[in-house]
Amino acid sequence: MAEEATYTPTELLACVASKLLEDGKSVFVGTGLPMIAAMLAQRTHAPNLLIIFEAGGIGPIVPVLPISVGDSRTFYRAVGASSMHDVMSACQNGYVDYGFLGAAMIDQYGNINTTVIGDHDHPTARLPGSGGANDIGSFCWKTIILMRQDRRRFVKKVDFITTPGYLSGPGAREAAGLAEGTGPYRVITQLGVYGFDEATKRLKLLALHPGVTVEDVQANSGFEVLVADDLTTTTPPTPEERRLLRVIDPTGMAIGK
């Protein structure tokens, strides 16, 4: 009998995402799990991680999980209390290494939809829209996407491109005027971790979460996902990481109780 997991799926996602962030780099984060992942990285392997918030907080040491990117705690012990204009300009000038985004829908080239489901003018559902997501996905060097995966969310072609990935494939991003070397880097779902094939720019499975199979991944995708030859398994959260997550999010706002 397989050993029962002592961690929740949300804890696993937060820990896996945090490990992607390197010490001494900068990251533009949004509300919820991206915040938790960045705060966890700062408390563990990346103490010099520069966290940037959309409302203008630059380099804070956030005490506990803020309610939003405009919460006053996003400025706590920060190196700068600036503005949305300044942090977006920093992205545009190439100063931000990582961007953390969520997505309602993603396609095989990493294009993100957070605008509408269905036809734009007569949609079946309207979503929150871009906010700063288009800027982050366009200008940060590496974009990390956290989302839930199923056949309605992992689609061959998104209904609307809110945030560009690799558009229609190799060279399309650069042809649209975006800097070479930028673009989606990793996608993390409840099933595994994905990167993008260098030759085709298509989504590629790099690691499975414990207990998940490649068949599970393909069954929850609306297109054939490429699979890495050296497929690995993600590392479960340690007791210390789980303890830190409760310190970061004491009310369980994002992690849960």
54 is catalytic: yes
Compute and round to an integer the Cα radius of gyration of the chain.
Answer: 18
Q: List strand residue ranges (DSSP E) for 4-122, in order.
A: 26-29, 50-53, 57-58, 80-81, 98-102, 105-107, 112-113, 116-118
- Give the strand pairing for 123-126 and 142-146: unpaired
DSSP code of residue 163: B
- Options 54, 174, 180, 198, the catalytic residue: 54
Q: Which residues partner with 53 through β-bridges?
A: 29
For 154, the enclosing helix (H) or strand (E) is strand 154-155
The answer to whether 173 and 196 are in contact (CB under 8 A) is: no
* Phi, psi torsion values for 133, nearest 5 degrees: -60, -40
Per-residue b/e over 115-151, b at no fewer than 16 CB within 10 Å?
Answer: bbbeeeeeeeeebeeebbbbbbbbbbbbbbbbbbbee
A 10 A CB-CB count for 253 gives 16
Angle between helices 9-18 and 33-43 (to 10 degrees): 60
HSE-up of 243 (CA within 13 Å, CB side)? 5
Q: Is 26 strand, coil or helix? A: strand
Residues annotated as catalytic are 54
